[in-house]
């Protein structure tokens, strides 16, 4: 592993080499929050990660298609769904009463996150946001497998592993969940 304080090779030679194609080692679905760029967090260089970002790291058909592309065409063997400390999208879902509209598109985002918030409603308030973020990551991993035949088949064949992650902004640490069992495996 490289030293996170060392400069990444993003020079002309690296860029020229990447014109021949890309072989990222992982696809990362993370929040669009400007404080959590996966390439910086994982100290990854150009071509190392296939990154897809959406507020609250939620999925829709375009997100699914992007991750399918990374996995099926670029052969990334790992999919990481990364939530993060202080996620504003999850917090908004917690704080916005059901039935209150923030506009059509934001309502869709909050609706996608709300099941995770509901699952942790009995968690003590001090840990509820973290619990909701972790649950949202778990739900997103499950959504990827449930809503994508391609990802489900590649998982079943052992060609891709899905894992959740939580970036702790205050420490800079990333915590990973256990890999999701291969699709079709007995739980």
For the chain, which residues make up each domain, given as ranges? Answer: 12-86+136-176
In the chain, which stretches have pLDDT less than 70?
1-5, 9, 183-187
pLDDT of res. 86:
97
Domain spanning 12-86+136-176: CATH superfamily: Carbonic anhydrase (3.40.1050.10)
pTM: 0.91
pLDDT of res. 67:
98
pLDDT in tens, 18-45: 889 889 999 999 999 999 999 999 999 8
Question: Alpha-carbon distance 116 to 83, whole Å?
Answer: 13
Question: Alpha-carbon distance 158 to 179, whole Å?
Answer: 12
Q: Which residues, other chains included, contact 105 with Cβ-Cβ below 8 Å and sequence gap of 6+?
A: none
Retrieve residue 25's tokens.
């080692």
Strands (E), the chain: 26-30, 49-53, 78-84, 161-168, 173-176
């Amino acid at each position: 592993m490289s030293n996170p304080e060392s400069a990444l090779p993003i020079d002309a030679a690296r860029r020229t080499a990447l014109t021949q194609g890309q072989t990222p080692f992982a696809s990362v679905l993370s929040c669009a929050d400007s404080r959590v760029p996966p390439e910086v967090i994982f100290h990854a260089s150009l071509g190392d990660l296939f990154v897809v970002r959406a507020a609250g790291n939620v999925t829709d058909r375009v997100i699914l298609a992007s991750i399918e592309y990374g996995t099926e065409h670029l052969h990334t063997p790992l999919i990481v769904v990364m939530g993060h400390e202080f996620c504003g999208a999850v917090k908004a879902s917690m704080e916005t009463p059901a039935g209150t509209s923030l506009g059509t598109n934001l309502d869709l985002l909050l609706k996608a996150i709300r099941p995770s918030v509901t699952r942790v409603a009995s968690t003590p308030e001090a840990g509820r946001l973290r619990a909701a973020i972790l649950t949202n990551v778990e739900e997103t991993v499950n959504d990827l497998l449930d809503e994508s035949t391609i990802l489900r088949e590649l998982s079943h064949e052992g060609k891709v592993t899905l894992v959740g992650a939580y970036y702790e902004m205050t420490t800079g640490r990333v915590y990973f969940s256990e890999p999701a069992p291969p699709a079709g495996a007995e739980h």
